[in-house]
C-alpha cells in the first residue's frame, strides 16, 4: 500500500501542473486539497479495511497536487530576491508542526476515539484550504 501511495502522490504532482495551467494555481491548490481532506475524514468511517485502504489511496491521488502549485503561486507572488526566503518560511511552517502529530494523535485516540486524529486532521486541513481560498481568491497574480 505504501508503494502505491507513493506512486499516486508522484503522479498527482505531475498532473498538478496541467490542472494548474487550466484552472489556476490557487483553485488547483484548494479544490484538489479539499476533497483530499474530506477523504481523510472518511477513512475511519469505512466499515471494512479494504474500503478504508481504497479511500486512503484515493486521498493520496489528490493529496500532493497542492505542492507544486503552491510553490509556483508563492514564486509568482513574491519578488524574485525574496523567493528563497518565502519558500523556506512556508516549508518551515509545514515541518515545525509534524513532530507533534504522533503525540496529539495518540492523545486523541486515547481520550476521544481511534478515528479522531483522522477527523481532526482533515477538518483542520479543510479549514486551512477554505481560509486560503477566501483570503487570496481576489488577489491577482502579477504578470
pLDDT for 35: 95
- pLDDT tens per residue, range 90-107: 888 878 888 998 999 999
Provide the sign of the torsion angle of the four alpha carbons 62, 1, 55, 106, taken in this order. Answer: negative
78: left (phi over 0), alpha (psi -120 to 50) or beta: beta
Looking up cell 481576489, which residue turns up? Answer: 138
Banded model confidence at residue 87, pLDDT cuts 50, 70, 90: confident
Q: Are 127 and 135 in contact (CB under 8 A)?
A: no
Q: Are 64 and 5 in contact (CB under 8 A)?
A: no
3-state class of 97 per DSSP? coil
pLDDT for 66: 87
- pLDDT tens per residue, range 18-65: 999 999 999 999 999 999 999 999 999 999 999 999 999 999 999 888
Amino acid at each position: 500500500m505504501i508503494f502505491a501511495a507513493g506512486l499516486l502522490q508522484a503522479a498527482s504532482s505531475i498532473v498538478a501542473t496541467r490542472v494548474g495551467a487550466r484552472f489556476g494555481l490557487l483553485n488547483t491548490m484548494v479544490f484538489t486539497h479539499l476533497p483530499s481532506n474530506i477523504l481523510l475524514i472518511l477513512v475511519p468511517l469505512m466499515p471494512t479495511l479494504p474500503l478504508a485502504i481504497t479511500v486512503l489511496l484515493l486521498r493520496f491521488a489528490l493529496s500532493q497536487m497542492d505542492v507544486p502549485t503552491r510553490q509556483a503561486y508563492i514564486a509568482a507572488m513574491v519578488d524574485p530576491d525574496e523567493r528563497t526566503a518565502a519558500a523556506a518560511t512556508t516549508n518551515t511552517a509545514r515541518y515545525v508542526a509534524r513532530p507533534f502529530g504522533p503525540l496529539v494523535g495518540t492523545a486523541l485516540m486515547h481520550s476521544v476515539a481511534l478515528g479522531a486524529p483522522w477527523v481532526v486532521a482533515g477538518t483542520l486541513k479543510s479549514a486551512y484550504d477554505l481560509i486560503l481560498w477566501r483570503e487570496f481568491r481576489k488577489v491577482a497574480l502579477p504578470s
